[in-house]
């Protein structure tokens, strides 16, 4: 009888609080989110098109950048449209299944970006430290295997987290203090034990946040040492320009992810996490194509050629 009553009162939808506590900022935030989404969408599509159709960009680094652009589109599309609906409507509700779907795609894209940034760091490490062996070490077969590994491992990770979350009971309250479905606020709303979820979240943080951060840091550490050992200033400038855009992207993304993810659910702070989530789910995917376009000579040349072909 008690179990039947629990099933009858189980939450079937959630309310995404978003930024509803700041009604005066609604119009401003709507404009910002819409602008960021359009820039992120168009910018990343341009990056994918440039790399696909420019033979000069058919190199390992740009192959991985194409994957990164795809991940950024997936991340922003899973978050921003629903956030915009919440900003223009009185109440932003999302079904339980819709919430789980959003959680899956967000976890998939966020973890994929972390692993792919490590792969990009390794690619940069090989290019700077072993330039003569770059072609043999970063073969098309290895690049394809690395990309497939990133997407597959992170899809499994997202499936595990989503599956565990879907098996929890939610009996109310149903207000998520966020503008999208995320693990920490959902765990706080659960009326069933979340021990396994917390353990898996910590393990995911340790691998995707911790180990990948260490590997990325080591790669750039070796790169910096290698650049400092170069005799000629021209070589130093070229090597630094190759990796500077990666460093900027890594710094922005890891800063926001550590603030939002690497903390136990018990110490979850809604306001702090909202700001952090805007950085990694909205701002970072918007800035990535701008950084790589403005700071990468090959991409700028390819873009100029495409624009010139349209003007004739």
Chain centroid to CA 264: 20
pLDDT on residue 2: 40
CA pair distance 107, 41, nearest whole angstrom: 19
Q: Is the pLDDT of residue 1 over 50?
A: no
3-state secondary structure of 285: helix
* 8 — pLDDT class (breaks 50, 70, 90): very low
Q: Is the pLDDT of residue 5 over 50?
A: no
- Tokens standing for residue 164: 């565990």
Q: Is the pLDDT of residue 70 over 50?
A: yes
Give 30's contacts (C-beta < 8 A, 6+ positions apart): 84, 87, 88
3-state secondary structure of 182: coil
Query: Which tens digits make up the pLDDT trace of 80-133?
Result: 999 888 888 877 889 999 999 999 999 999 999 999 999 999 999 998 888 888
Contact 158, 104 (CB under 8 A): yes
Q: Where are the beta strands (DSSP E) in 81-216?
A: 93-95, 175-176
Strand order in the sheet with 13-16: 93-95, 13-16, 175-176
Nearest-CA neighbor of 185 among 310, 270, 76, 311? 270
CA pair distance 225, 221, nearest whole angstrom: 6
Instruction: Using CB atoms within 10 Å of the CB of residue 171, give its burial: 0 to 12 exposed, 13 to 18 middle, 19+ buried.
Output: middle
CA pair distance 195, 142, nearest whole angstrom: 38
Higher pLDDT, 268 or 14: 14
* 253 — pLDDT class (breaks 50, 70, 90): confident
DSSP-H helix ranges across 167-211:
183-189, 195-204
pLDDT on residue 48: 93
Neighbours of 241 (CB within 10 A): 12
Contact 198, 187 (CB under 8 A): yes
């Amino acid at each position: 009888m008690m179990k039947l009553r629990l099933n009858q009162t189980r939450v079937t939808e959630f309310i995404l609080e978003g930024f509803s506590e700041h009604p005066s900022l609604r119009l401003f935030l709507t404009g910002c989110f819409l602008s960021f989404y359009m820039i992120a969408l168009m910018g990343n599509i341009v990056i994918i098109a440039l790399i696909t159709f420019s033979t000069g960009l058919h190199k390992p680094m740009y192959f991985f950048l194409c994957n990164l652009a795809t991940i950024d589109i997936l991340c922003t599309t899973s978050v921003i449209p629903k956030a915009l609906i919440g900003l223009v409507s009185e109440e932003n509700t999302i079904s339980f299944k819709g919430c789980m779907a959003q959680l899956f795609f967000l976890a998939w894209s966020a973890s994929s970006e972390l692993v792919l940034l490590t792969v990009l760091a390794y690619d940069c490490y090989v290019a700077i430290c072993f330039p003569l062996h770059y072609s043999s070490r970063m073969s098309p077969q290895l690049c394809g295997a690395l990309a497939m590994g990133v997407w597959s491992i992170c899809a499994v990770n997202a499936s595990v987290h989503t599956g565990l979350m879907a098996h929890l009971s939610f009996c109310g309250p149903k207000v998520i203090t966020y503008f999208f479905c995320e693990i920490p606020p959902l765990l706080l709303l659960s009326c069933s034990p979340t021990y396994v979820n917390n353990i898996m979240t910590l393990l995911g943080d340790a691998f995707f946040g911790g180990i990948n951060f260490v590997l990325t840091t080591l790669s750039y550490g070796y790169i910096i040492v290698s650049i400092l050992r170069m005799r000629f200033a021209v070589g130093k400038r070229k090597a630094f320009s190759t990796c500077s855009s990666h460093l900027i992207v890594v710094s922005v993304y890891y800063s926001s992810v550590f603030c939002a993810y690497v903390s136990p659910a018990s110490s979850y702070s809604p306001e702090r996490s909202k700001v952090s989530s805007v950085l990694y789910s909205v701002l970072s995917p918007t800035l990535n194509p701008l950084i790589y376009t403005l700071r990468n000579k090959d991409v700028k040349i390819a873009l100029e050629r495409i624009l010139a072909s349209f003007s004739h």
